[in-house]
Amino acid sequence: MPADTDLIKLYSTRILALAADIPHTDRLTDAHATIKKRSPLCGSAVTVDVRVEDGRIAAYGQDVKACALGQAAAAVTGHAIIGRTLAEVQTARDELRDMLKSQGDVPAAPFDGFEVLEPARDFKNRHASILLAIEATAEAMEQALQSDCA
């Protein structure tokens, strides 16, 4: 079990600043796909809208109802997401999951902002919330590409 000082370190000024500055919080009215994901463990929820053009995310909207860690992860996702391909989003998702669960490396740029969440490795009960935004984005993009809207 992590010590109380680890928990204090986890909620760093940087994480709290990201949580307060989530980009793309307006929902899209012309989305090609919308995915809502919820973490049953903590109740965090994220709804993601994507519009895909030429195989890349052209527009992005997100509604984030999560803890500070989930909000920070949504902020990192939102800052990096425009212009990304499905392969890039899936790689970022897999690298973030590996970073949290298997002591893997920080995701590659442009998703390297996830390094701020490295201290959360020891807090397994927070992993699902941290992964919500990038997982929902990958699912939404897959759905958009399958629907031939993109």
The CATH number covering residue 11 comes to 3.90.1010.10
pLDDT score of 148: 66
pLDDT score of 17: 81
Beta strands in the chain (DSSP E): 33-38, 45-53, 56-65
List pLDDT tens digits, range 105-119: 999 999 999 999 998
Alpha-carbon distance 20 to 143, whole Å?
Answer: 29
Show the domain range for 66: 4-146
Contact predicate 33/141, CB 8 Å: yes
Alpha-carbon distance 86 to 146, whole Å?
Answer: 11
pLDDT score of 4: 46
Domain count, the chain: 1
- Pick out the chain residues at pLDDT < 70: 1-11, 148-150
Does the pTM exceed 0.85?
yes
Hey, what are 65's tokens?
């109802």
